Amino acid sequence: MRAGRLAGAMLSLVALAGAGGCGSATADPGGDDEERIRDLVALPAHLELPAVPGFNPLTREKIELGRHLFYDPRLSGNETQSCASCHVQRLGFADGKKAPTGSTGQVLSRNSQGLANAAYHSTLTWANNGLLELEDQIQVPLRGDNPVELGVSDGLVDEVLARFDDDPSYARMFREAFPENEGGATINKIVFALASFVRSLVSGESPYDRYVSGDKSALTAGQRRGLGLFNGERFECFHCHSGVNLSVSYRDANTSDGTIRYPFFNNGLYDVDGEGSYPAHDQGLYDVTLDPDDRGLFRPPSLRNVALTAPYMHDGSIETLRGVLQHYAAGGRLIESGAFAGDGRLSPLKSGLVRGFQATEQELDDVVAFLEALTDPVFIENPAFSDPFQPDGE
């Protein structure tokens, strides 16, 4: 999604605050409110409190409304797709495709990321330094027109809202989720509810989580070797994928504004002109800033449940975890022919962290094994995150 084409569709946080009540920019951690949120999202003890904006406090009613909306194709303009069409629970809320197709048949340029722990990212989406809150990001698939995803255009808003106002179950859920607001469904309320549900998608019970919480038997010997390589200076994975969310794009309720990082990296995936350019249809952060130095800059995703979210990279152009490791071992990608031919290894814009390294087959096996230990079976089977329209959440 090109941010420049989204401006007319996005609502500001000031406008959104009218739907969810006023409050500070971020809810203060500590005390009864922290305990309430931890209980509400079943937050494991080793995870910090996520940053929840004061204008949209978490409630059980908003989370449940958001869950229903997330799975309901009536939320798309033509009633053919839901959020869950591109974010499937058993796949870590990714979709297993190189790039998804929107409700009107338009193929997107970027791979669907998993949604586990999305609330902890300092920026949202692959390459936008202005989307800092889920309430803003959700406008992109809901209202954006280039490309069209759910396709709730200005001309269809009233029709879409009427679908929920005319449904007695939804009318009740909207009243319960927003008791301080009169009237029925609005785009703002939908956005607030969806943001609340996504904030509840907490993953923290993988073998790796058990290991860092003190259970040293949770990882196999090979996975422990892989963890050591992952955090070592030869592989250098940790420079972009560190901390509990396995991404340096991170914040929580205790992170002060002056210390939040907003990282984007060029990893040498392309160099189509010898000057660092990526394919013209998607040059990453450059498409937002128009700064030539920002060509090919993308945000490092979280690696939680990464074994379930193939294919990889922003465009889904690498099929396997082993292929990703081989890409970094090579120090970038050489494409010998075709429209995107070029040697990413030589890109002048490539991050200095992507230097290439020697690795044995056993070492690659061990790092892949570690990455597989980031799969959280509780998360992908949690009925609280499942489709409410299916019997028993199946």
User: The domain that contains 304 carries what CATH number?
Assistant: 1.10.760.10
Query: CA torsion angle for 115, 56, 36, 87 (degrees, to 10)?
Result: -20
pLDDT, tens digit, 9 for 90 and up, residues 176-216? 999 999 899 999 999 999 999 999 999 999 999 999 999 99
pLDDT reading at 252 higher than 50: yes
Same domain for 104 and 198, yes or no, is yes
Q: Which of 208, 250, 206 is nearest to 367 (CA)?
A: 208
Taking the C-alpha atoms of residue 146 and residue 148, their distance in angstroms, rounded to an integer, is 5
Owning domain of residue 195: 3-203+386-393
**What is the average pLDDT score of the chain?**
92
Taking the C-alpha atoms of residue 79 and residue 73, their distance in angstroms, rounded to an integer, is 5
- What's the pLDDT score for residue 377? 98
Residue 187 contacts by C-beta under 8 Å, 6 or more apart in sequence?
11, 142, 143, 152, 157, 161
Where residue 285 falls among pLDDT bands split at 50, 70, 90? Answer: very high
Same domain for 110 and 186, yes or no, is yes
The number of distinct structural domains making up the chain is 2
Same domain for 219 and 273, yes or no, is yes
- What's the pLDDT score for residue 28? 60
Same domain for 249 and 116, yes or no, is no
Same domain for 42 and 170, yes or no, is yes
pLDDT reading at 6 higher than 80: no
Same domain for 132 and 220, yes or no, is no
- What's the pLDDT score for residue 327? 98
User: How far out from the chain centre does Cα 262 lie?
Assistant: 14
Percent of the chain at pLDDT exceeding 70: 91
Average pLDDT over residues 150-167: 97
Taking the C-alpha atoms of residue 313 and residue 320, their distance in angstroms, rounded to an integer, is 10
Q: Which of 244, 306, 247, 308 is nearest to 44 (CA)?
A: 244
User: How far out from the chain centre does Cα 218 lie?
Assistant: 26
Same domain for 359 and 286, yes or no, is yes
pLDDT, tens digit, 9 for 90 and up, residues 170-179? 999 999 999 9
- What's the pLDDT score for residue 392? 64
Same domain for 79 and 214, yes or no, is no
Residue 325 contacts by C-beta under 8 Å, 6 or more apart in sequence?
235, 359, 364, 367, 368
pLDDT, tens digit, 9 for 90 and up, residues 49-62? 999 999 999 999 99
- What's the pLDDT score for residue 182? 85
- What's the pLDDT score for residue 391? 76
Residue type for position 143 = R
- What's the pLDDT score for residue 367? 98
Q: What does 158-176 look like in DSSP terms, one character per residue?
A: HHHHHHHHT-HHHHHHHHH
Q: What does 66-120 look like in DSSP terms, one character per residue?
A: HHHHHT-GGGSTTSS--GGGT-BGGGTTB-SSSS-B-TTSPBPSSPPPP-TTGGG
- Written in H, E and C, the secondary structure of 206-239 is CHHHHHHCCCCCCCCHHHHHHHHHHCCCCCCHHH
Residue type for position 317 = S
Same domain for 255 and 159, yes or no, is no
H/E element holding 135? helix 134-137
Same domain for 249 and 343, yes or no, is yes
Same domain for 225 and 347, yes or no, is yes
Taking the C-alpha atoms of residue 188 and residue 199, their distance in angstroms, rounded to an integer, is 16
Taking the C-alpha atoms of residue 225 and residue 124, their distance in angstroms, rounded to an integer, is 32
pLDDT reading at 73 higher than 90: yes
Average pLDDT over residues 74-97: 98
In DSSP terms, 101 is beta-bridged to 107
User: How far out from the chain centre does Cα 57 lie?
Assistant: 20
Average pLDDT over residues 126-155: 96
From residue 287, how far is each of 4, 141, 202, 284 by CA, in Å? Answer: 8, 17, 31, 6
> Please, are residues 172 and 52 in contact by the beta-carbon 8 Å criterion?
no
Same domain for 297 and 355, yes or no, is yes
